[in-house]
Structure 1
Amino acid sequence: MTTTTASSQSSAPAAETPDDVQNTGIKRWAIPFALLCCVILSFFDKISIAVLLSSPAFQGALGVEGETTKLGFLMTGFLLSYGFSSMFLGFLSDIISPKKCLYAMLVLTAVIMTIMGFAESYAQMLTLRIVLGIAEGPMFAIAYTIVKRTFAQREQARATMLWLLGTPIGASIGFPFTIYILDNFGWRTTFFAMALLTIPLLLLVVCVFRKVDVSTKSPLQKERGDKHVPLASHRQSTRELFSNLSFWAICIFNIAFLAYLWGLNSWLPTYLVEDKGIDLDSAGIFSSLPFLAMLIGEVVGAFISDRIDKRALMCALSLFGAGFGLLLVLSIDASNIAMISAMSFSAMCWGVGAPNIFALLAKATPSKVSATAGGILNGFGNFSGALTPVIIGALIASTGNMTAGLLFMAVLAFAGGAVLLPLVRRY
């Protein structure tokens, strides 16, 4: 997959296997680092509202004191528009330019966050949250497309791992940052601070990508000097993508993959406190251990996968391992240390698959529709994965404990891993 021959050049775009990309040496790793910073800031924007929901001043300013349903819709509205945008607007990076889309996304985010700081009503805030979701929805599709077009297949898991680390890093530092601003300067300043942070980030991104070519060019496009994929060509490639069974198998896998993450994020503290009788302070420490293990799994999985180039195998094994770890958790009663160790093992296995999903997608889909494929993958996964906390909550309510919820997550993990088995030999 990583060698470029004369025959492959005549039959496929050069960007399909970018071993000969213009970015060589250590400087090219500034690309995923800049994307990492973008993802971190985007998670600041996502989770800032979670802190503000508990602020009496914020609730009072919007006139929704104690109305938890309306407050919850500030997150739900964002998530729905985010998933919609990821699925249906990601293709813009294919027919325009992922760099231009990234610049536009950062500018729009800064503007929207600034306007949020002046919001005077609940309706205004909800509308702005929905618009923010639309603006940020293509982020993962853009990042995936840039990495695919600037890194060789043998390096894509490591490059993907670098920007994907923005998810846990952004969540871990975003909460204390927002709380500090809220406590010292008020809720409106939290939005202004996010907007201000976008300015140096935009300068960094422009500096890094100024001379980086992330276009997809066939020999004919190069001869004509085209800078993007023609719309007619994109439509044809999209039809081919939709008929690609491997692509849909990866999408189904990603649904199970994100369902695990949403379930763990939503219910792990509750499981530790209510099912295991761990006090709240200790539960906070215990809850962080699986996510630390997840980070380790992402790093290790990226390096191993780039070395052996078995993307489908690594993804399948990650969910099989995650499911097996959950079964171990359910089998342990006597020791909380052993239980959290098993949970950490499960999360670490999940982490192994995180950087490999996009690397697998890169092998199975054409570069002309990179952003389209990444957007659909991310959109379907987030729409479906977001239902997991609700389903687990219903299972807990009907059974009175978390066992059924963990079993549900384990079953999804095994099913998701099994979906990729037919792709193991090919990818």
Structure 2
Amino acid sequence: MSDTAASALTAGATPDAGPSSGARRWLVPLALLACVILSFFDKISVAVLISSPAFQADLGLVGESTKLGLLMTGFLLSYGASSMFLGFLGDIFSPRSCLYGMLILTASIMAVMGFVDDYGLMLGLRVLLGIAEGPMFAVAYTIVKRLFPPREQARATMLWLLGTPIGATLGFPFTIWVIDQFGWRASFFAIALLTVPVMLLVYLVFRRLDVSTRSPALQHSDKQHVPLATHRAATGRLLKRWTFWSMCLFNVAFLAYLWGLNSWLPTYLVQDKGIDLDQAGIFSSLPFIAMLLGEVIGAIVSDRFDRRALMCSIAMLGAGLGLAMVLSIEGSNWAMIAAMSFSAAMWGVGAPNVFALLAKATPSDVSATAGGIFNGLGNFSGALVPVLIGALIVATGDMTAGLMFMMAMAFLGAVVLLPLVRRY
């Protein structure tokens, strides 16, 4: 047996698993990338819609800012809960089947939204959309863990994680264009239709994979799913690991930085630095470009040295130091944004390593469960960060309070993984 084939079998694939061996296996994270990009189209569509006068009028939401905000909040809360409590399905059933199910459900929900005239029904459908999409990251992480050897997992993870910034970058102009040309209802139908080519891509890539690549608990069994009792016992062992909860705490700090940057960077540039809105738009994009570069560099370096915890800790230390430089710079907006971009790039270095660390430090038979809890807790906490930063700014009357909070979370993330550095 060749080394490549042996690696594929070790990762959980069968000898004839197609893309799991050789260069073709890299089609797997690219297919997952398409799924993540599409899921971000679903997420952000409402962010564009709530600014549409026609959407507000048709649903009776003119002047109802709180109700409009609930369309996003309802999604985020259900998304986090679903990630935590439904991610285990990827351990019990084939992750491939879970992926198909999520795509079909999200496409159906988006299509139904295009016909809705009632706010309550729209809110309910947004909650259902969050439930349907919640396990996405856990399932994607599980597939990569089972198909790729440890020395390649950061790069494979980086490829599908890039769907987050790419989805946001493409999703906003696409949704705006569709609404301008065809109306707000067409935006839901368009995203539902985009699911068809994504599903076709997923089918073509995964059709020859044995995703026995199911749970390792089924490798020597003719059963099609893991008994619940077996999974409960494995989950109990996972929840007793202090290393797992250390990684969860790190992810809370990690996503707190990201949500803070996403929510408050433009406001900070305009209100605290006095930059005009047009220039603030350009300045706001530079840290995220740097973040993308950091993700690529972090994946390559980490796969070479396989020091996942160390890379994550260094990334957050660098992100915190970059924010400290931002707070110390006066008189030069370009120097300030360069420091902010350095901070974001260092955060990006950690991004592909987060799930690679989780894969290295948790058992394979509960990988989707671990990924779901890990991602769900991080998103729950992260969703509170914009509100918390806003409260700090109101309480202190100073925009820098938000940056100081993000800096503190970055340093917390760097410290919490130190006990894991030598082992992982």
TM-score, normalized by the shorter chain, greater than 0.5 = yes
2:193 maps to amino acid: L
What TM-score does the superposition give when structure 2 sets the normalisation length? Answer: 0.95
TM-score between the two structures when normalised by the length of structure 1: 0.95
Task: Please say if residues 40 and 167 of structure 2, whose CA atoms lie closer than 8 Å, have aligned partners that are also in contact.
Answer: yes
Distance 2:225 2:350 in 1: 31
Q: Does 1:299 align with 2:296?
A: yes
Which residue is equivalent to 1:145? 142
User: Would the alpha carbon gap of residues 139 and 178 (structure 1) be closer, same or farther in structure 2, given more than 3 Å must change?
Assistant: same
Which residue does 2:322 correspond to in 1?
Answer: 325
Post-superposition CA distance 1:305-360 (Å, at most 9, x none): 00000000000111110000000000001100000000000000000010001000
User: Structure 1 pair 397/209, CA: closer, same or farther in 2 (3 Å)?
Assistant: same
Inter-partner Cα distance in structure 1 for 2:365 and 2:202: 23
Aligned partner (choices 192, 204, 207) of residue 207 of structure 1 = 204
- Stretches of structure 1 that go unaligned for 5 or more consecutive residues are none
Given candidates 349, 353, 363, the residue that maps to 1:352 is 349
Aligned to 1:25: 22
Match of 2:227 in 1: 230
Conserved? CA contact 2:12–2:211, under 8 Å: no
The 1:299–1:265 alpha-carbon spacing in structure 2 relative to 1, beyond 3 Å, is same
- 1:220-272 per-residue CA deviation (whole Å, 9 max, x = no partner) reads 84443334433222111101100111110000000000000000000000000
Tell me the number of residue pairs that the alignment of Structure 1 and Structure 2 aligns.
419
Are the structure 2 counterparts of residues 124 and 190 from structure 1 closer, same or farther at C-alpha, using a change threshold of 3 Å?
Answer: same
Distance 1:219 1:52, change over 3 A: closer
Match of 2:154 among 130, 153, 157: 157
Are residue 190 (structure 1) and residue 187 (structure 2) matched? yes
In 1: Cα distance, 2:227 partner to 2:115 partner: 41
SS at match of 2:275: coil
> 2:107 touches 2:193 (CA, 8 Å); kept in 1?
yes
In structure 2, how many angstroms separate the alpha carbons of the residues matched to 1:344 and 1:210?
41
Structure-2 change in CA distance of 1:119 and 1:358 (3 Å): same
1:45 aligns with 2:51: no
In structure 2, runs of 5+ residues without a counterpart are: none
Identity %: 70
Aligned pair 1:116/2:119, yes or no? no
Q: Residues of 2 paired with 1:175 and 1:21: CA distance?
A: 41
* 1:85 and 2:82 matched: yes
- The answer to whether the 8 Å contact 1:216/1:229 transfers is no
Corresponding residue for 1:97? 94
Equivalent residue for 2:394, pick from 397, 401, 424: 397
385-394 vs 323-332, which deviates more?
385-394
Alignment-mate amino acid for residue 72 of structure 1 = G
Task: Quote the residue 1:255 is aligned against.
Answer: 252
**Equivalent residue letter for 2:258:** L
Give 1:50-61 correspondences, 5 Å limit: 50-61=47-58
Separation (CA, whole Å) in 1 of partners of 2:38 and 2:13: 28
Q: What is the distance in 1 between the residues matched to 2:86 and 2:240?
A: 20
- Please tell me whether the aligned partners of residues 143 and 213 of structure 2 are also in contact (alpha carbons under 8 angstroms): no
Kindly provide the amino acid, as one letter, of the partner of residue 248 in structure 1.
W
Shift, 1:32, TM fit? 0.2
Checking the alignment, whether the CA contact within 8 Å between 1:329 and 1:342 is kept in structure 2 is yes
Q: 1:287 to 1:218 in 2, by over 3 A?
A: closer
Aligned counterparts of 2:321 and 2:173: Cα–Cα separation in 1: 33
| Among 101, 104, 107, the residue aligned to 1:107 | 104
2:257 corresponds to which letter in structure 1?
Y
CA deviations 1:255-297 (Å, max 9, x no partner) are: 0000000000000000000000000000000000000000000
Secondary structure at 1:224 match in 2: coil
Matched, 1:382 2:379: yes
Q: Name the SS for the 1:411 alignment partner.
A: helix
Q: 1:398 Cα shift?
A: 1.6
The AA in structure 2 aligned to 1:155 is E
Contact preservation (8 Å) 1:315, 1:352: yes
AA matched with 1:257: F
Distance 1:363 1:423 in 2: 11
Is the alpha carbon distance of 1:402 and 1:233 closer, same or farther for their aligned partners in structure 2, counting shifts above 3 Å?
Answer: same
Query: Residues 190-235 of structure 1: CA distance to partner in whole angstroms, max 9, x if unpaired?
Result: 0000000001111110111011122256888444333443322211
Aligned residue for 1:211, secondary structure, equals coil
Query: How far has the Cα of 1:402 moved from its partner?
Result: 1.4
Cα deviation for residue 142 of structure 1 reads 0.6
Distance, in Å, in 2 between the alignment partners of 1:188 and 1:59 is 12
Please report the RMSD computed on the Cα atoms of aligned residues, expressed in angstroms: 2.0
Structure 2 residue 64 is matched with structure 1 residue 67: yes
Give, as a single letter, the amino acid of the residue that structure 1 aligns with 2:66. Answer: T
8 Å CA contact retained: 1:21, 1:150: no
Residue 174 of structure 1 pairs with residue 164 of structure 2: no
Note if 1:264 corresponds to 2:291.
Answer: no
